[in-house]
Structure 1
Amino acid sequence: MPSSTDRSPRPATPAANPSYRRGVVMVAAASSIAPIVGLVASPLLSQNLGVDGRGALAAALAPSLMLIEVVHLGMPDAVAYFSAKHPSFRRRAVVLAALMSLPVVVLGVVVVMLTSPFLASGYEGLTTLINLAALSVLPIVMIGFLRGAAIGAQRWTMTASERVLNPVLRMVGLVACAVAGVLDLRNALLVMITAPLLAGLLYLPLLRAPAREAGATLDAPSARMLLSFGTRSWIGGIATMLMARLPELLIAPLSDFEQLGLFVVCLTISGVPFVVVSAIAQVVFGSNAAERNDDRLLGTSSVSFVMAVAISLVLAITVPWWIEPIFGRGFQAAVVPTWIGLLSSVVLVPAMIAGSGIMAAGRPGRRSIALLLALACYTVLLLVMVPSTGATGAACADLVGNLVVGGYCIRVCQRDLGMSPWRFFIPRRHDLLRLRDAATTLVTRRRSA
């Protein structure tokens, strides 16, 4: 049971840390680059690889992408948490996470390689590409630990730079191959797996041992502490991954491929607010793990919620006019699922910020419980609604799942951390002023640079 001290909100400083404000703006702006690059890269790949080649590229990358989500054991979150709590042991946390995850990563890579002939389904050359992508899993997972250390150390410029450099390198590589006339399946795969590795080099300075704080040896994070935090967070990560993959597995068998295509377009459009807010949630996690500030967290949530509402309203009002010109004929039927998906994304904003606050308080298991409950509701509703309502039913299931996550996480924040649930949604005047000041400062600095 938490003590009365844990339940009461900590006193908030009169003004939010300028580094935090800049971090939120920088990381949010950097995260918006990836969807833009995706809009350009997707047609470029489709035109050069064709329908079969585009599908083969996705098939070559899919096992490794899923493996990355499984084998890290929640260690990036654990490294972020303990790097924030114990800055002088940042490198120790990264090394311990790497050593504990290494056997699982190697085993996962071996399994993918052994099953690659089956996964290739007879497609010529695909087995080799699946194996090539699998070899990138180990370094990418290690980069994830360094990214966690950067979040814990609140190195927002470094984090934002990596978020920009990764998609930019991918875009430059694909365009260069296309101009040179060599954008085939193999080169496209090499670009896709090389870009995150090169961008991850930005985190190497974090391996330098930070100055040791006086008395810090008494609280040095142990392997058991990292594993405990990581596994409790990892369970929620697995639930999140399953919710992302279930539509691909269930919609077509329960309905048809047309409904699956409509739902994919729905997620593409409604996921725009999610990409930005997920990055902001990482800033909240790292900053609150280092120094709890409820007012700052709640202000970030409420401002992000209002911004998500505004963005979603613009998209919802205009989507009937541009969905077919952009995605092609037949996608007008995706308008209603997209409206529901946009509402779902808005609901997810305070849920993600509340979940980050729970993680920063050292209680990742609570967030994982919320995600497991959401997974159960989501799965049942998919099975019940998709056969009769297709993509619309899947969007409704997604909305209910996000409502479950948000309701549970906000309730935990209220009950265990003493936060007002309404403050997750309603910004105060000083919250908006802080956002304006941070954006103004960032723009001024970029112009002077």
Structure 2
Amino acid sequence: MSEWLYRLFHHSKAAHPIRHYFGRSINAQRHPQENELFNQAMEAFSEGRTVQAYEHYLRSLENFNAAESNENILLHYADDTLHFELYQGTAVIRGSVSDKYFEAHAVITAKALMNIAIKRHLLERNDQLTYVRYYTHGEFLQLKLYLDNTTMTPQKIFYPLRELALNADYEKEYIHYHFKQKKLTEVEHLQSIDEDELRIKYGAMQQWIEDCQLALKQLPANDNNSTVSFTLLSLLLQIDYLIVPQNDIAQEIIEKISSYFMEDERLVEQKNDELLNFILKLQKLDFETFAPYFYKACYTFSPMERATIEELIQFIEASLEKSRWFRHHRYPHVVSTIYHYMAFYMLYNYGLHPSYQALLHLLVEVNNSDFFVALGYRPLYHTQSKHFEKEAIIRAVNDAIEPYQKEFSNLVPFGKELNYTTLEEFSHSFYLHLKNLNYTEL
């Protein structure tokens, strides 16, 4: 364990299970009665009990960590009208439901902060949206949704409400970053992060950047561009998933990753230089500059469409094929980097079934054990002794799969069958089992 992790871990005051948020999707379990609530909503709509139907449906969107609600959606009645607040990152969606209509809106920015460039941007955005529109109301720019309840079903609610929530969250940060606004509007629902945790994350980022620079010096001379890309992209994805910066840092990470995969006239060397320059920029941040870019927030909708198992298999097979040459020619550090990259990329780029996401997170936790230990988690892998906590890993695999075996009868836990010889062999065997998971429904 590196010195900074050792100091932070041994001064930790955590005595209870710790909840942390990782990645930019929903890191929570769906409502345990989601299906029942959805069916109750369907029945209530068919019987003309519109407001009650909405209540059932909105309650089905609540998500949980263990048995504790994330309180990502709040409901209350006033007379015959149902009012709600729904949280999606930086955005607060407020709405009301009557027998005749469904209305919801989110504050994007202050009207006084809008300039000609922002107004032009919003006109373009309005043409791109399907269900929602931007408009000014009082002192604020808002994103609004209005639905007529004459013929309503839960399926007709999902996509409009999701479009409102995802775009409100995205647009708030996009306008803040690209149009250089000093602060976000309406942030009272965002939770601050403890300074001790931020210092762990800052130290981890600096350590990872140093490790990355060392790894770049050790890369083989042949096929150097692709291995540099794996190394740099893996680091950015690792920072994004494990540290979860927000605001400007998050926007820049997203832009740098998207820019790399853009098909244009730039050479791979140029794209790698852009990634490296941004990483060096992160390295120069002092803690006081770093700290304001973090907060905790609730999320209701995933920003990514659910990937098919075929897409995931194709990605794993293609990535393992790229690693074979390095395995054969004994470049274990390159193979390890590719294995790191694979997990982080799937968590970043694909909408995943909760079981699949939990399994990938487990693989990430094993491969980044020092970081999780510093946050107060029990180690699944001991970096100094190279010892796996095999029974704990087996339990975690079971916990990820067993809740879904009624839905997918051929989904079988594989923890006992993993290769616990080395981290490299463990990761390789883990991906082979992920590739063979059977999500065939009954």
Relative to the length of structure 1, the TM-score reads 0.28
State which structure, 1 or 2, has the greater radius of gyration over its C-alpha atoms. 2
Give the structure with the higher percent strand.
Answer: 2
Relative to the length of structure 2, the TM-score reads 0.28
Give the structure with the higher percent helix.
Answer: 1
